[in-house]
Structure 1
Amino acid sequence: MPTNLKNPALYINRELSWLQFNTRVLKQALNESLPLLERLKFLAIYGTNLDEFYMIRVAGLKKLFSAGVNVSGADRFTPLHQLREIRTYLHEEQKVVEHCLLDIMNRLEKEGIFFKPYRETTLEQRKVLDRYFHENIYPVVVPIAVDATHPFPHLNNLSFGQIVKLRDKDDSSIERYGIIRIPRVLPRFVDIDNRIYIPIGSLVAEHIGDLFPGYELIKFSAFRITRNADIAIEEEEADDFMEMLEEGLKLRKKGEIVRLELSNHADDDLLNFFNRHANVFKDDIYRFTTYLNLGALWQIVGNKDFAHLTAPSFKPRNLPPLDSDENLYAILDKQDLILFHPFESFEPVVRLIQTAAKDPDVVSIRMTLYRSGSQSLIVQSLIAAAESGKQVTVMVELKARFDEENNLIWAKALESAGAHVIYGITGLKVHAKAALVTRRVNGKLKQYVHIGTGNYNPSTATIYTDISYMTSNDAITYDMTRFFHFLTGFSKKGKLGELYMAPTQIKPKLLSLIHNETRMGSEGVIIAKMNALVDEDIIRALYKASQAGVKIELIVRGVCCLRPGVEGVSENIRVTSIIGKYLEHARIFYFKHADPQTYISSADWMPRNLLRRIELLTPIAGEEASAKLLQILELQISDNDLAYELQYNGSYRKVSHDGAHTINSHLIVETETNKVYNSTKKQTPNYVQQLTNRLFKES
């Protein structure tokens, strides 16, 4: 009898799957084999991830609950059920987080890095701290009385400060409450000699008399709030989308408070005072014995004096043919290039745009920009190109969450320079990563394309694993021209020929590729690497492929709603997640019986990517380029050091090894890249030279 593939039991809840992902990040912080500051880095990442989860996902669930929505997602969990599960999970995990931080801090003391409250410092150190307070903190900190004539202040998203209860020195019967806002411009730790870190709240608490003259401190607690930060903008009738976005950014600071974090100094008295005004649900209040803002730990992670306590750095390389002085256009005239970042340098991508900006033969540059960073050489080159009279067209996605302000700044600068700037497509985010350079060569136009899985951001290109594809293939460049025409013009039914574009083409193509492997039965093989797998139709297609005997390897970094190991449904599906030194960000797909077999994409397998964004799926047909992508996939499904395997119950188990045959995919690619770079022979990296691959040994 056919299985009901819509059965909710076959699907893992998206939010609970995300929590499992962040737990895997936390496990890196718990890993005692890693250097201490590397462990602290993962704790900072864990905290930053959790902030965004509350700002977006939990805030969204609260809105659904308030709106009376009963179910959401294939698992059919109600918003209330999800909120309860999330709160239970996080309150339990908080104990692990605090234990982890205390353990790391104790170990750092043996290495000469100390965390101390003000009162545990020496007299000489206090003099330094007092001077720092009066010179750097006192002028910008904001003491606020709260009473009948002083209303409770508005606190922006991620506001940090202290709740204080004070006593009048002249009349001990008079007690008052106040708030001290500690602006984000101040560091969360005041460091002495780059090795002793004093929490800023501890320093502020010792100077209450300076902030509230005539009063003495009875008790205090640090606090931190998280607000709903998801901007909802109605785009219809929008005459000025930039102006609307600026308004949305202001509203983000005023969204509903969805989480309150307090230090363990907070008794019921302080909590009740604060929550009379903040009105945070009791289970969204978290009390900490350690520091509230884990993201602030980046300040310590970045201490250059203790670089030996971080993971060994790796310098991205330019491999043949990009290690020569040969002109980049000449190289692309002869061959396509696949670059595996951050092991292979992002510099050639930057060089493509910088060269185009200066080249008198270049007539136009077209690009999409999603997250380019605050200091972007690429955008600066585009501005220079526009100012020199070249035709520059840039699609700046103003709705790139948490990067909107940078994008607003760049959009205005580009427009001022004379570039044609597109501020988004109504109802859709433009998430595709693409650039097109058009040159005049011997009286004819010649075009060059870059398509990537990651953003045009050289900073993140050193820590994210991504793929770049560079080509002058006429079919691809023609399609890319049509793609940019779709962005700048009107086209409801536009389709590309060689490339595939969401929201109209990628999902049907993926379903077709999966169906094709399904027809091959036990001969079928699918390997897919992505950040998230949520789309129900894709998951059902994979279940059908598994039922037909297709071998399916999924490398999903984060959320995965597919449930492996279900008898009669998903026995042939294995799901792993790699968490390590680099953030896995590339989307690479392999279908054994397709032609071509390999693809890269900007899109994860989620409804938002496939149906509500403009994305690109790019077939990689060249034999060498395709083989390189397949090697990356083979290596990652063989990883037994950084990989976690998804279990039937939704939890993840660390993939084990015997110690003698450790396969750390990040380390292997670093080693192989350096080997090629230092070799006198021109060759392509062979990432799987020493691996015995269980899936492909018979193929």
Structure 2
Amino acid sequence: MTLLNAAMTRDLKDPSLYLNRELAQLEFNFRVLAQAYDERVPLLERLRFLCISNTNLDEFFEVRVAVLRQQLALGTPMPGPDGLGPTEVLSRIRSRALELVRAQYAFWNDTLLPALGIEGIRFVTRDRWTVKQKRWLQGYFQNEILPVLSPLGLDPAHPFPRILNKSLNLAVVLKGKDAFGREGHMALVRAPRSLPRIIRLPAEVAESPYDFVFLAGILQQFIDEMFPGMRVEGSYQFRVTRNSELVVDEDEVENLAAALSDELAGRGYAHPVRLEVAESCPKAITDMLMANFQLTDQDIYRCAGPVNINRIIAIYDQVDRADLKFPKFTPRVAPAFVGTPAVLDAVREQDVLLHHPFESFGAVIELVRQASQDPDVLAIKQTLYRVGDHSPLVSHLVDAARNGKDVTVVVELRARFDEEANIRLANRLQEAGVQVVYGVVGYKTHAKMLLIVRREEGKLRRYVHLSTGNYHQMTSKVYTDFGLMTADPDIGEDVHKMFQQLSGLGTVIKLKRLMQSPFTLHKGLLTKIEREIAHARAGKPARIIAKMNALNEAGVIEQLYAASCAGVQIDLIVRGACALRPQLPGVSENIRVRSVVGRFLEHSRVYWFANDGQPEIFCASADWMERNLLRRIETCFPILDSVLAQRVYDEALANFLADNTQAWVLQPDGTYTQLHPQDEMPHAAQLALVAKLSM
């Protein structure tokens, strides 16, 4: 039986053909943690990867676990394509998350702490404080910490307080009576967010070049000073993680910004989903905490170290040791702009491709700056999803409005964990006279678009910047992304129509060059995969290569399975969660999936289709996920210039398919195997790009 016939007889919707999205996402953090294990990685970067894996796990509980718990609470279990219901998924998450937590703390205690100590970077625990250190820390506690603390004794007049999401807390066991004759049993000490979680000891008391002390250790050492006259029997760290998903019925609110502001005020106290406690915490204390947070044993995670281990990242910038960090590099200026101060003029002459972080994001900032000052520029339109604090782009948009340009900005208020910052951003822009819109009801605006309208020789010309990543100056230094600057009339017209659609109430639009979610991108991808299937059936070479952050959309996966059965060769570079099972006999044996994890966060989305010798290549803001293809505003844009198209293929696809040091290959059972050079030369895709593109 041929593969195609097998596909026709096999149900490609069979749940056994799909990996679970949540478990696949959780698995990504093991690959991040593996970077911390890698002794070839500089020591402080290993620390950073440990913290990233921990921060990612926090967000996983805040969002993915919270959604599953909510489905159970509402009685609306929604199994995914893999057929697993929330109860089974949560059980499997529990098992795998416990393994991850144990691995994180084992690495911290057994590997990282000793290695840091050898380099003169110590985390000094209470049992090792010298007399001088203890005296200094007691003064620090009395002068800097105690005045901002509000310890709370638990009794009928002082019920269990609201505990802020991911905040550091101590449960304190007391004995004796206070000044009012109240018998002490339990108290809570909440560490305010204003206090640093890690304190560096000054040179006069430090015994190493870098001596650090955890805030929790200081609190526990001097906790008796908070409860004079009583005896402290024990104190135990804990931290609760809460549901951080914001729910706003956009059809029922008149002002989205105001409604989100109301929701944000309560997010820090939403329903708990996880409780982290010190490993030594007695069962009686955990039982009390569980009862107050309405959690069960399955929600408890015991930590063999600080419960907020991700706060260790604070020392990265405090330790001035270049030899323990990745070598610095200077992003190059795109060749098209070298010796050409006028960015718009350079873009009018030719399309310009930017590959971040290897090429400078400064070109994008300069484009907006020049447009804000150019008397011939009439209008600027831009989408902002995540932009960062103190963004020069925002300042230039404000200047443009004050200089009389018509400036429209689509601010996505629902960008997760940036909602509050984006509300402030929207207010600042509106105060400067910028027309701010919040996108489309029910759909997040995730597209990355910039449109500049300029009058030239009596006619209007459109300049466009499209990107796979956000207009965020800081993440552009650590995320890999592509940006395209072009004056192509068709692309300019398409982007103009999309902005009209976002700011108005227009119908579905017809685009010449771009594909757009939620209207044409999903269908367009299926059509292009079907075209490769037709070529394979006709005996022609057929191939698909795609790079993205995640893949879980069932319709696309099913079509890829059909393509594999037809003989289409498919290579997928998926950084994070992938729900497709590769290399299944009779279904996906022509599909290979790899994940590359390295110094930079792989963020670019690139799709390539062989198209019978006339290949097409696209960059996009969208992953092949259900939310991106069906529930968001996204853009997918072609690279029309043949030289630039070849460059994207070489740098983003061929380069990463050749990686044999930082690549992980997905197995049919959902596990990953890291590649290692055998007889071939080692090749690390990201390092190759640093060498090729940076200055």
Q: With the length of structure 1 as denominator, give the TM-score of the two structures.
A: 0.94
Q: Which residue of 1 aligns with 2:569?
A: 551
Q: Which residue of 1 aligns with 2:301?
A: 286
**C-alpha distance in 1 between matches for 2:77 and 2:634:** 31
Q: CA offset at residue 6 of structure 1?
A: 0.8
Q: 2:629 aligns with which of 607, 610, 615?
A: 610
Q: Which range is displaced more, 616-625 or 575-584?
A: 616-625
Q: Which residue of 2 aligns with 1:191?
A: 200
**C-alpha distance in 2 between matches for 1:236 and 1:465:** 36
Q: CA offset at residue 62 of structure 1?
A: 0.7
Q: Does residue 96 of structure 1 match 2:111?
A: no
Q: Which residue of 2 aligns with 1:686?
A: none
Q: Which residue of 1 aligns with 2:206?
A: none
Within-5 A mapping of 1:114-133: 114-133=122-141
Q: CA offset at residue 170 of structure 1?
A: 7.6
Q: Which residue of 2 aligns with 1:445?
A: 460
**C-alpha distance in 1 between matches for 2:431 and 2:231:** 54
Q: CA offset at residue 482 of structure 1?
A: 0.8
Q: 1:495 aligns with which of 504, 510, 532?
A: 510
**C-alpha distance in 2 between matches for 1:659 and 1:43:** 31
Aligned to 1:302, the other structure's residue is in SS state helix
**C-alpha distance in 2 between matches for 1:163 and 1:7:** 49
2:11 maps to a residue whose letter is N
Q: Does residue 657 of structure 1 match 2:677?
A: yes
The answer (yes or no) to whether the contact 1:449–1:472 under 8 Å persists in 2 is yes
The answer (yes or no) to whether the contact 1:495–1:505 under 8 Å persists in 2 is no
Q: Which residue of 2 aligns with 1:161?
A: 169
The answer (yes or no) to whether the contact 1:529–1:556 under 8 Å persists in 2 is yes
Q: CA offset at residue 158 of structure 1?
A: 1.0
Q: 2:594 aligns with which of 562, 566, 576?
A: 576
The answer (yes or no) to whether the contact 2:336–2:352 under 8 Å persists in 1 is no
The answer (yes or no) to whether the contact 2:71–2:78 under 8 Å persists in 1 is no
Task: Please give the per-residue CA displacement for 1:456-495, whole angstroms capped at 9, x wherever unaligned.
Answer: 0010000000000000111111111111100111123223
Q: Which residue of 1 aligns with 2:265?
A: 250
Q: CA offset at residue 142 of structure 1?
A: 2.4
The answer (yes or no) to whether the contact 2:178–2:228 under 8 Å persists in 1 is no
Q: Which residue of 1 aligns with 2:443?
A: 428
Task: Please give the per-residue CA displacement for 1:135-176, whole angstroms capped at 9, x wherever unaligned.
Answer: 221122221111111011101111211000112268999432
Aligned to 2:185, the other structure's residue is in SS state strand
Q: Which contiguous aligned blocks of 4+ residues in structure 1 show a shift greater than 4 angstroms?
A: 169-173
Q: Which range is displaced more, 552-561 or 487-496?
A: 487-496
Q: Which residue of 1 aligns with 2:687?
A: 667
Q: Does residue 178 of structure 1 match 2:191?
A: no
Q: Which residue of 1 aligns with 2:373?
A: 358
Within-5 A mapping of 1:274-673: 274-521=289-536, 523-593=541-611, 597-632=616-651, 633-658=653-678, 661-673=681-693
**C-alpha distance in 2 between matches for 1:602 and 1:337:** 18
Q: CA offset at residue 302 of structure 1?
A: 2.0
1:64 maps to a residue whose letter is Q
Aligned to 2:333, the other structure's residue is in SS state coil
The answer (yes or no) to whether the contact 2:246–2:264 under 8 Å persists in 1 is yes
**C-alpha distance in 2 between matches for 1:659 and 1:219:** 58
The answer (yes or no) to whether the contact 2:166–2:241 under 8 Å persists in 1 is yes
**C-alpha distance in 2 between matches for 1:147 and 1:311:** 52
Task: Please give the per-residue CA displacement for 1:303-345, whole angstroms capped at 9, x wherever unaligned.
Answer: 2422321111222111312222341111111100111100011
**C-alpha distance in 2 between matches for 1:484 and 1:60:** 32
Task: Please give the per-residue CA displacement for 1:262-291, whole angstroms capped at 9, x wherever unaligned.
Answer: 112311122122222122221110111112
Q: Which range is displaced more, 213-222 or 105-114?
A: 213-222
The answer (yes or no) to whether the contact 2:334–2:354 under 8 Å persists in 1 is no
Q: Does residue 50 of structure 1 match 2:57?
A: yes
2:45 maps to a residue whose letter is E
Aligned to 2:664, the other structure's residue is in SS state strand
Q: Which range is displaced more, 121-130 or 567-576?
A: 121-130
When residues 580 and 170 of structure 1 are mapped into structure 2, their CA distance, relative to the original with a 3 A threshold, is closer
Task: Please give the per-residue CA displacement for 1:354-395, whole angstroms capped at 9, x wherever unaligned.
Answer: 111111221111000000011211011111111222110000
Q: Which range is displaced more, 342-351 or 174-183?
A: 174-183
Q: Which residue of 2 aligns with 1:683?
A: none
**C-alpha distance in 2 between matches for 1:94 and 1:154:** 26
Q: Which residue of 1 aligns with 2:143?
A: 135
1:184 maps to a residue whose letter is R
When residues 269 and 471 of structure 1 are mapped into structure 2, their CA distance, relative to the original with a 3 A threshold, is same
Aligned to 1:159, the other structure's residue is in SS state coil
**C-alpha distance in 2 between matches for 1:269 and 1:244:** 40
**C-alpha distance in 1 between matches for 2:563 and 2:490:** 32
The answer (yes or no) to whether the contact 2:622–2:635 under 8 Å persists in 1 is yes
Q: CA offset at residue 660 of structure 1?
A: 5.4
Q: Which range is displaced more, 309-318 or 407-416?
A: 309-318
Within-5 A mapping of 1:207-286: 207-286=222-301
2:385 maps to a residue whose letter is Y
Q: Does residue 144 of structure 1 match 2:142?
A: no
Q: Does residue 14 of structure 1 match 2:32?
A: no
What is the RMSD computed on CA atoms of the aligned residues? 1.6
Aligned to 2:320, the other structure's residue is in SS state helix
1:668 maps to a residue whose letter is A
Q: CA offset at residue 626 of structure 1?
A: 0.4
**C-alpha distance in 2 between matches for 1:70 and 1:204:** 43
**C-alpha distance in 1 between matches for 2:89 and 2:225:** 46
**C-alpha distance in 2 between matches for 1:524 and 1:65:** 44
Q: Which residue of 2 aligns with 1:204?
A: 219
Aligned to 1:340, the other structure's residue is in SS state strand
**C-alpha distance in 1 between matches for 2:154 and 2:77:** 40
State the identity as a percent.
39
Q: Which residue of 1 aligns with 2:36?
A: 29
The answer (yes or no) to whether the contact 2:598–2:686 under 8 Å persists in 1 is yes
The answer (yes or no) to whether the contact 2:594–2:665 under 8 Å persists in 1 is yes
**C-alpha distance in 2 between matches for 1:669 and 1:352:** 24
The answer (yes or no) to whether the contact 1:220–1:265 under 8 Å persists in 2 is no
The answer (yes or no) to whether the contact 2:210–2:319 under 8 Å persists in 1 is no
**C-alpha distance in 2 between matches for 1:3 and 1:574:** 20
**C-alpha distance in 2 between matches for 1:29 and 1:183:** 30
Task: Please give the per-residue CA displacement for 1:484-528, whole angstroms capped at 9, x wherever unaligned.
Answer: 100111123223221111100100110011111111116101000
When residues 279 and 619 of structure 1 are mapped into structure 2, their CA distance, relative to the original with a 3 A threshold, is same
Q: CA offset at residue 94 of structure 1?
A: 2.0
**C-alpha distance in 1 between matches for 2:579 and 2:260:** 32
Q: Which residue of 1 aligns with 2:205?
A: none
**C-alpha distance in 1 between matches for 2:626 and 2:573:** 18
**C-alpha distance in 2 between matches for 1:527 and 1:259:** 39
The answer (yes or no) to whether the contact 1:169–1:216 under 8 Å persists in 2 is no
Aligned to 2:426, the other structure's residue is in SS state helix
Q: Count matched residues.
A: 675
**C-alpha distance in 1 between matches for 2:366 and 2:71:** 46
Q: Which runs of 5+ in 1 are unaligned?
A: 678-699
**C-alpha distance in 2 between matches for 1:612 and 1:660:** 44
Q: Which range is displaced more, 457-466 or 18-27?
A: 18-27
Q: Which residue of 2 aligns with 1:695?
A: none
**C-alpha distance in 2 between matches for 1:246 and 1:139:** 30
